[in-house]
Amino acid sequence: MNDRPNMPLPDLYRTMRRIRSFEERVAELYVRNGTAGSMLHLSIGEEGAAAGVCAALRPDDSFTTHHRSHGIFLARGADPNRMMAEIAGKSDGYCRGKGGSMHIADMALGHLGANAIVGGGIPHAVGAGLSYRRLGSGAVSVAFFGDGAMQQGVLYESMNMAALWQLPVLFVCVNNQYGMGTRIDRAAARTDFAERAEVFGLAAMNVDGENVGAVFTAAEALIASARAGRPGFLCVSCFRFYGHGRMDKSPYRSAEEEEAGRRRDPLLTARNALIERGLATTAELDAVDAEIANEMDATIEFAIAAEPPPLSAMFDDVYAPGEVRPEPMRMRLERILACT
Amino acid sequence: MNDRPNMPLPDLYRTMRRIRSFEERVAELYVRNGTAGSMLHLSIGEEGAAAGVCAALRPDDSFTTHHRSHGIFLARGADPNRMMAEIAGKSDGYCRGKGGSMHIADMALGHLGANAIVGGGIPHAVGAGLSYRRLGSGAVSVAFFGDGAMQQGVLYESMNMAALWQLPVLFVCVNNQYGMGTRIDRAAARTDFAERAEVFGLAAMNVDGENVGAVFTAAEALIASARAGRPGFLCVSCFRFYGHGRMDKSPYRSAEEEEAGRRRDPLLTARNALIERGLATTAELDAVDAEIANEMDATIEFAIAAEPPPLSAMFDDVYAPGEVRPEPMRMRLERILACT
Amino acid sequence: MAMQELTYREALRQALADAMTEDNRIVVIGEEVGIYGGAYGVTRGLIDRFGAERLVDTPISEPAIVGAAVGAAMTGLRPVAELMYVDFLGLVLDQLANQAAKIRYMFGGQIGVPLVLRTQGGTGRSAGAQHSQSLEGWVMHTPGLRLAMPATVADAYHLLRHSLTLPDPVVFIEHKALYTRKEAVDLAVPVLPWGRAAIRCAGSDVTLVAYSRMVSVAERAAEALSNEGIEAEVIDLRTLNPLDMETVAKSVIRTGHAVVVSEACLTAGPAAELVARITEECFDFLEDPVLRLAAEDIPVPVSPALEVATIPTVSLIQDTVRRMLNR
Amino acid sequence: MAMQELTYREALRQALADAMTEDNRIVVIGEEVGIYGGAYGVTRGLIDRFGAERLVDTPISEPAIVGAAVGAAMTGLRPVAELMYVDFLGLVLDQLANQAAKIRYMFGGQIGVPLVLRTQGGTGRSAGAQHSQSLEGWVMHTPGLRLAMPATVADAYHLLRHSLTLPDPVVFIEHKALYTRKEAVDLAVPVLPWGRAAIRCAGSDVTLVAYSRMVSVAERAAEALSNEGIEAEVIDLRTLNPLDMETVAKSVIRTGHAVVVSEACLTAGPAAELVARITEECFDFLEDPVLRLAAEDIPVPVSPALEVATIPTVSLIQDTVRRMLNR
Ligand SMILES: Cc1ncc(C[n+]2csc(CCOP(=O)(O)OP(=O)(O)O)c2C)c(N)n1
Ligand SMILES: Cc1ncc(C[n+]2csc(CCOP(=O)(O)OP(=O)(O)O)c2C)c(N)n1
Ligand SMILES: [Mg+2]
Ligand SMILES: [Mg+2]
């Protein structure tokens, strides 16, 4: 564990626990609710990346994320009730139930949106960086994505632009070793991803995501650099503890590999470090865990009790309020049939 | 000049002269004919890249090219008459006048096609490499493209695939310093393009395109490597002597820059080397030049005299012969109006 | 071969396996098509039979996947490129529409691009706006691309087999909600030729024109209408390029009424083309304007309550036909 | 401001300049939009007035250009992304159709994406299959995208100005053959509102519905027809999303005959939508099926002799109308 004086390890632990606890409940939600979106990607094992990077952000910074991003948004301070409600497709969700797990967003917290297209949100962060530079806001934008997106062309176009224009942008690859069933070494001949960013002119680092302190420290340095006009790239290595989605039992990897991967547990590592350093006792941490468990239990009840959006919401938000709206099919048919 | 014993410098000179001479006629064709496609991109200044790489290919190798590719195809042995006719949109052209300058192709010579989409032909070469590997043909495929394509995402996807699958593919960037009015340093923060390929796992080199011998030598090595399963990347630095297209007078660059660029003349450099080394006399080279000038003059006459494709050709080749054809508009209207 | 019970998914797998056995130029290229067996399980097990050289797992690089398939198709292979969701078409349309579709034409007929782009689309899993679309309209509007959209298990097999023999690029769009559809089929029995529409249910009062999943929705509507004494003819287009207007027109001329049912968005989609063609060719026989039932012109929301309401339903078809016929 | 002679190109430039002067959130992002002045010269000189921070020359990275414009639009700028040719749409449709078009909806109305994607299309320069297309159909089929296609110099100005005030993404497609079109215009005079079609020429025998360059082709056909005693009404749609069916239907109900003229390929294109809507809304008034004159369903060949034959001409319109009206 890194010993930077400003490293808030207890807070980082709490954040990571919240993520883990939330994600465990998401799996449960699906079983109990049945109505949630089918596309649920748990970020268990990746808490170090989410907590470490988000702790280094300023409130006015913004970010885009990929499909596996509950953890990142929670680390940013999301309300887990509204998140769970969104995942369940309910009206009280962040996106009124229209976006679901893969399209969650919140302008108030600078979450410019999760994305179900691998790589889709990356250039948006470049655009946000362009805005911040032009408007002189001093903010930084971060693009989070998975290792799978390392093979998407738009990443290289985006990194090139950010480097060329010296934008306040940080690219964060959450390298959980797998894109669905494909391990990184079956997706790329060379898997040192930082060097791919460096040759485009970015400040680039690889960091071990098991060590949330190291992630925080690296992110802090790269965000400062980005804020000063030298964009960065951070590859956080971690392990996807479970399958790609709900149905995936990961038959393409061995039990040994899974076990070894799950031993790289950022939560456990942080817990041990806190105790070893005398920053917390087991009992204190257990209390934190229990408190969070309670809070997260409540999110499911909240989401299940919440109302689905009314049918009328369907035609809202295609265009801005006041603009020409789509005509509902039934009305259209009514109109046509009335004439003939 | 490189001194490899197998380097056919006199042949390379002849090839380069043919390209230069042809391109000068293309400019003339437009003035005289008026009917040619409007999109004409001259490769004067880039002869070293075309001649050097193509001389290193085997007859069964194949390649795709970008929009500025007359030179490459000529270096491969194209019939300049059929090329000029194609550029003029005539029936005797390589593509029966339907493709024009930017879509010239010839399966007999392994030219899998020029492409008007920057980067568009690059993955085709990867696919060809996949075929050759699977069919065990021993052939190599080459993707030619400009420096502008260094900022197109599909290049990185393609290089990654070729490296991952160890395909017999060579990527050749004809780096003429400009994409339209944008010099490479306004398109990329770091312009050492070979390092961009290396981090994906390719054998990568930068070479000076003024020196056709050096290009040939580098291409030979990389093609041998690709044939053996290690794909390569070659960036040939040169200078686009004239504007991007016919109408472009290059106001975005200084007279000094142009002059300096044009001094990097692969043709002149090769000529001097031939004379210096006693491989040819001035008179001999003048004779070569004159012979080629005559041949190229004839291409214009050929292209102007050639017939445009018949109107009926319009509906051919949308689908294979024997498949359902598009119904011409007039016939369709006739049919509909006949019923009512 | 005798009758067997197969799912749509199994029939597709069988088609690939049979075709790959007969033609060893066929290779499948795509994300997770090999070891994983396909995101929707279509290629499951094929890698064990045909090896990793013929079931090529790729990086997540859609443009390069389709582009490589184009190059491979030009040099002696017959690639099946898999696009995991049709929603990703926006990443590959350059390779598909500017390259694959135009190469034969631009090069004056020198060469074709015999590739099959397999993909799947449609709603039904509350997967949201970027994983639930029906984008066949973009393909249909692109000359040079054949387009097949099987609605039945038998067609899943036969249309895919036939696609793998065509000399030009074929976009083959499956429906995610049909994979578990089961039918008793005899794969040896020849079905209709490529490009021919099927009459799934005969009727004389109104013609329902549909394709892909909407065929079974239309069939159920026809059944319900039949109980009310309205006989609807259900036509399954099977391919959208070519379009079998002969079969459609013959039916509409007889019924005088037509309703087109499509899961794609209404505006400028496939249903518009069908309305236009039917009207052009059957105008004097039409007692009412051809009606379109299509997806609402909105993105697909995740909330299941809303998702189901975005596309045509059995009751919408029923109501529309009833109103149309003034019953 | 008084009357002035302007070209379409100059009007577009003026619109950008006026809008940029009033609203300094506007930035133009694209290939060669700055120093070069635009591949078709539209932005020429603007960099001298507004600087390189507002006329942002980009690398040749279309997906990232549009993607960056999306992100910029969400964070306080009002970007104008320039796509040099509409033919490159296949590279950016993911960013345009999956991102820009759906963000407001997916995020439950939290935020919009007020960007304008300027591009140009059409035939006329024998530029071949990858540089001559009319791909507005793909855009029109995408809910969430507004779509404007100016046919006149005045509209080039006013529609672009208006596009730059809209809260949602607008695709703005110019026509390469119109840049040199010259008109005397008074830019201060208000034109029709956004979304309203214009009647370019009144007539009672037949309605010609067109947009972009086909408007002037239709106008010339109307003039020629008038000499034969046939009075054609020419409607210029101006925007394809929204579509002003009110104006169109009113005319068709009066004339009883409609012909749609479009430079896009026939099948599943914009003309199909218009035929469908007109038929749906005017069925009882139609004496003939609505006819479509559109581009052939083929790639655009380079040879000039063939290129001109791929799209509707004045004489094709004339012949069709004559036949339709039995004259
Ligand atoms: C453009 C695109 N291609 C494919 C998919 C299907 N898909 C969804 S997630 C995924 C794997 C992504 O891997 P990675 O980027 O490493 O993220 P992870 O799932 O590991 O978090 C794939 C292939 C998609 N959503 N978008
Ligand atoms: C995808 C795409 N974007 C933009 C263009 C327009 N365009 C044609 S050539 C060109 C410059 C290409 O530069 P480079 O790759 O260096 O080739 P060069 O012209 O220098 O040979 C551009 C921007 C295009 N044809 N395709
Ligand atoms: Mg991953
Ligand atoms: Mg260049």
Class of domain D3-186: alpha beta
Q: DSSP class of residue C153?
A: H
Higher pLDDT, D228 or A1: D228
Whether pLDDT at A310 is above 90: yes
Q: D53 C-alpha to center of ligand 3: Å?
A: 36
CA–CA separation, C155 and C152 (whole Å): 5
Which pLDDT does position D190 carry in this prediction?
80
HEC letters along chain B? CCCCCCCCHHHHHHHHHHHHHHHHHHHHHHHHHCCCCCCCCCCCCCHHHHHHHHHCCCCCCEEECCCCCHHHHHHCCCCHHHHHHHHCCCCCCCCCCCCCHHHCCEHHHCECCCCCCCCCCHHHHHHHHHHHHHHCCCCCEEEEEEHHHHHCHHHHHHHHHHHHHCCCEEEEEEECCEECCEEHHHCCCCCCHHHHHHCCCCEEEEEECCCHHHHHHHHHHHHHHHHCCCCEEEEEECCCCCCCCCCCCCCCCCHHHHHHHHHCCHHHHHHHHHHHCCCCCHHHHHHHHHHHHHHHHHHHHHHHHCCCCCHHHHHCCCCCCCCCCCCCHHHHHHHHHHHC
Q: Tell me the average pLDDT of chain A.
A: 95
CATH of the domain at B130: 3.40.50.970
Percent of chain D with pLDDT over 90: 98
Q: Which chains touch A (3 or more CB pairs under 8 A)?
A: B, C, D
A146 within ligand 1 shell (Cβ under 6 A): yes
Domain for residue A64, yes or no? yes
Give the pLDDT band (50/70/90) at residue A4.
Answer: low
Between B30 and A145, residue with greater pLDDT: A145
**Per the structure block, which two tokens stand in for D187?**
């830019």
Asked if residue B85 has pLDDT above 80, the reply is: yes
- Judge residue C227's burial from the number of C-beta atoms within 10 Å of its C-beta, 0-12 exposed, 13-18 middle, 19 or more buried: exposed
Task: State the first-to-last Cα distance of chain D, in angstroms, to the nearest integer.
Answer: 46
Residues B124-148 pLDDT 10s: 999 999 999 999 999 999 999 999 9
CA angle B177, B180, B186 (to 5 degrees): 55
Bridge pairing between strands B141-146 and D146-148: unpaired
Residue whose pair of structure tokens reads 């497609």 in the numeric block: D173
Q: Do D305 and B311 touch (CB under 8 A)?
A: yes
Structure tokens at D79: 């970007």
Q: Per residue in A177-236, pLDDT tens? A: 999 999 999 999 999 999 999 999 999 999 999 999 999 999 999 999 999 999 999 999
Indicate if the pLDDT at residue A335 is higher than 90. yes
CA distance B196 to chain C (A): 18
The whole-angstrom separation of Cα A243 and Cα A42 is: 8
Q: Mean pLDDT of all residues in chain D?
A: 97
Find the angle CA(D25)-CA(D30)-CA(D35) to the nearest 5 degrees.
Answer: 95
Q: Name A148's Cβ contacts closer than 8 Å, sequence gap at least 6.
A: A118, A179, A180, A182, A187, C59, C60
Mutation target for B interface from D84, D306, D308, D322: give the one with most B CBs within 10 A.
D306
Q: What is the mean pLDDT of chain B?
A: 95
How high is the pLDDT of residue A37?
64
What integer pLDDT is reported at residue C327 of this predicted model? 86
Q: Quick check: B6 pLDDT over 90?
A: no
Q: Is A149 in the pocket of ligand 1 (CB under 6 A)?
A: yes
pLDDT for D70 beyond 90: yes
- When pLDDT is cut at 50, 70 and 90, the band that residue B30 belongs to is confident
Is B151's CB within 8 Å of A163's CB?
A: no
Is residue A179 lining ligand 1, measured as CB closer than 6 Å? yes
**Residue C190 pLDDT:** 80
Helix axes A282-305, A80-87, angle to 10 degrees: 50
In chain C, pLDDT over 90 holds for what percent of residues? 98
Query: Nearest bound ligand to CA B149?
Result: 2
Contact C298 A326 (CB under 8 A): yes
C280: contact with B, CB 8 A cutoff? yes
Element (H, E) at C27: strand C26-30
Predicted pLDDT of residue A28: 87
Comparing CB atoms, the residue among C61, C293, C299 nearest residue A152 is C61
By C-alpha distance, the chain C residue nearest A186 is C59
Q: Which residues of B touch D303 (CB under 8 A)?
A: 89-90, 97-98, 100, 308-309
Please report which confidence band the pLDDT of residue A36 belongs to, taking 50, 70 and 90 as the band edges: low
**Which whole number is the average pLDDT over C115-128?**
96
pLDDT of B339 > 90? The answer is no
Average pLDDT on C56-70 reads 98
Would an 8 Å CB–CB cutoff place D290 in contact with chain C?
Answer: yes
- Residue B5's Cβ-count burial label (10 Å; 0-12, 13-18, 19+) is exposed
Length of chain B: 340
Model pLDDT, residue A103: 97
- Closest CA to ligand 1's atom 19: A179
Instruction: Look at residue A41 and tell me whether its pLDDT is greater than 70.
Output: yes
Q: Considering Cα of C39, then C42, then C44, then C50, what sign does the dihedral take?
A: negative
Matching CATH topology for C3-186 and C198-325? yes
Chain C positions in Cβ-Cβ contact with residue A252 (cut-off 8 Å):
35-36
The answer to whether residue A1 is domain-embedded is no
pLDDT(B168) > 80: yes
**How many folded domains does chain A comprise?**
1
Asked if A309 and C306 touch (Cβ cutoff 8 Å), the reply is yes
Ligand 1 close to Cβ of residue C62 (< 6 A):
yes
Assign 3-state DSSP to chain A and report helix, strand, coil percentages, each to 5: 50, 10, 40
Average the pLDDT over D113-122 and give the result: 98
- The continuous run of DSSP H or E covering D157 comes out as helix D153-163
Residues of C in contact with B66 (CB under 8 A): none
Contact D125/B at CB under 8 A: yes
**How far is the CA of C56 from the CAs of A122, A282, C27, C80, C165, in angstroms?**
27, 50, 7, 10, 20
Q: Which atom of ligand 2 is nearest to the CA of B149?
A: 15
Query: Is B2 within a domain?
Result: no
Q: A 135-154 residues with CB below 8 A of C? A: 148-149, 151-153
What does the pLDDT look like over B33-56, one tens digit per residue? 665 667 899 999 999 999 999 999
What is the three-class DSSP state of D121? strand
The pLDDT of residue B107 is 98
Could you tell me if A145 lies within 8 Å of chain B, comparing CB atoms? Answer: no
Cβ-Cβ contacts under 8 Å between B and D: the total is 142
Q: Could C304 and A89 be called an inter-chain contact, meaning their C-beta atoms sit closer than 8 Å? A: yes
Bigger pLDDT: D268 vs B2: D268
Give the per-residue pLDDT at A2. Answer: 47
Band the pLDDT of D1: cuts 50, 70, 90. low
Closest CA to D109 of A330, C88, C298, A128: C298
Given a cut of 50, whether residue A1 has pLDDT beyond it is no
Nearest to D262 by CA among D240, D286, D282, D247: D240
Asked if A254 reaches chain C (Cβ–Cβ under 8 Å), the answer is: no
Q: Is A201 at the interface with chain B, CB within 8 A?
A: yes
pLDDT range class, residue C1, cuts 50, 70, 90? low
Instruction: Give me the total of CB pairs closer than 8 Å, taking one residue from chain B and one from chain C.
Output: 155
Residue C281 makes CB contacts below 8 A (sequence gap 6+) with B336, B339, C245, C249
Cβ–Cβ contact A261 with C under 8 A: no
Burial of B258 from C-beta contacts in 10 A (0-12 / 13-18 / 19+): middle
Spans of all domains in chain D: 3-186, 198-325
Closest to B189 (Cβ–Cβ): which among A155, A156, A164? A164
**Of the candidates D101, D140, D292, which has its C-beta nearest C276's C-beta?**
D292
Whether residue A5 is predicted with pLDDT greater than 90 in this model: the reply is no
Domain that includes residue A178, residue range = 9-338
Q: Kindly report the CATH number that applies to the domain delimited by D198-325.
A: 3.40.50.920
Which pLDDT value is given to residue B5? Answer: 58
pLDDT at D126 over 50: yes
**Average pLDDT of D156-183?**
98
Q: Is A187 on the interface with B (CB under 8 A)?
A: yes
Ligand 2, from B115, B152, B180: best to mutate by most atoms within 8 Å of Cβ? B180
Instruction: Determine the pLDDT at residue B1.
Output: 47
Is the model's pLDDT at A259 over the cut of 60? Answer: yes
Residue C4 has pLDDT above 60, yes or no: yes
A34 pLDDT more than 90: no
Q: Which residues of C are catalytic?
A: 62, 131
Q: What is the pLDDT of residues B194-218, one digit of tens each?
A: 999 999 999 999 999 999 999 999 9
Decide: A116 in ligand 1 pocket, CB within 6 A.
yes
Decide if D162 is catalytic.
Answer: no
Mutation probe of ligand 1 site: the residue of C33, C57, C60 with most atoms within 8 A of C-beta: C60
Q: Dihedral of CA B177/B182/B185/B190: which sign?
A: negative
Stretch D262-291: mean pLDDT, rounded?
Answer: 98
d(CA B312, CA C106): 15
Residue nearest to atom 5 of ligand 2 (CA): B118
**3-class DSSP state of A31:** helix
Measured between CB atoms, which of A155, A186, A201 is closest to B189? Answer: A201
Q: How confident is the model over B214-227, as a mean pLDDT?
A: 98
Half-sphere exposure of B293 (CA within 13 A, CB side): 6
